[in-house]
Amino acid sequence: MEKHIVKILSVTGVTHDVKSFRIEKPAGYRFTPGQATEVSVNKPGWEEEKRPFTFTSLNDEPTLEFTIKGYKDHNGVTNLIHQLVEGDQLIIRDVWGAIEYKGPGYFIAGGAGITPFIAILRQLKKDGQASGNVLYFSNKTALDVILEDELYGILGTDAHFILSKGDTPGYEHGYINKAFLDTNVTDLRKHFSVCGPDKMISDVNGALEQMGVQPDAVVFEK
């Protein structure tokens, strides 16, 4: 497996627990929007502590970007990455991942599971092909929503933000479950892309199967 040591060029806050890391891009390094790589921190003892992160930049950009949620209650890789600053180094590896755009349809995301869809939606906007896609993005609170303004700018009223806690005006409330999908999915022939916590993926995929969606129309990271 090929390894690349890359420098962090900038760190930008996105939400209270999410940061965007802009890093060097190795020569010839390419990926399909929605794909990921394994990342570790280039510090003693951490070089082989790998975690998967999705690219949120586009292929034609001169640098790479990751949008990463930190977990302060875990003394692990994401917590360490959130302490890094411009000039620190990461190690990235080969590109992998099954999530890619198949055609107009539904993007269903939970929390940091939005990250594979960020590059896909940014590419669709750039290519003038975002129309016909719908996003259902579930979070606990409004403070947890990643890139809300940008996603709304790409999809307009087809971007739906669902909150499971509180009663914040201007947001939909509840859970993305079968009842929600029965109410909101109007075309079962379209493509479905699902990403989030394992239980959410399992529950949503099970609901879609019960609704009659064909298995090959559902894309998720296995």
What amino acid occupies position 115? T
Query: For 12, what's the count of Cα atoms within 13 Å in the CB-facing half-sphere?
Result: 11
Task: Name the pLDDT band for 26 (thresholds 50, 70, 90).
Answer: very high
CB 40 within 8 A of CB 51: yes
Query: For 60, what's the count of Cα atoms within 13 Å in the CB-facing half-sphere?
Result: 4
pLDDT (tens digit, 9 = 90+) per residue, 74-120? Answer: 778 999 999 999 999 999 999 999 899 999 999 999 999 999 999 99
Please check the confidence at residue 176 and state whether its pLDDT lies above 90. yes
Record the pTM: 0.95
| pLDDT confidence of residue 79 | 92
CB 19 within 8 A of CB 71: no
CA nearest 97: which of 152, 127, 131, 56?
56
Q: CA-CA distances (angstroms) from residue 81 to 62, 71, 121, 146, 168?
A: 22, 10, 25, 18, 31
Query: To the nearest whole number, what is the mean pLDDT of the chain?
Result: 95
Domains of the chain in start order, with CATH, are 4-95 (2.40.30.10), 105-219 (3.40.50.80)
Q: Where are the alpha helices (DSSP H) in the chain?
A: 77-81, 115-127, 148-155, 178-184, 198-211
**220 Cα distance to chain centroid:** 11
Cβ neighbours, 10 Å, residue 199: 9
Q: What is the mean pLDDT of residues 141-158?
A: 97
CA 107 – CA 150 distance, rounded (Å): 15
CA 36 – CA 56 distance, rounded (Å): 9
Q: What is the mean pLDDT of residues 26-47?
A: 97
> β-pairing, 18-24 with 105-110?
unpaired
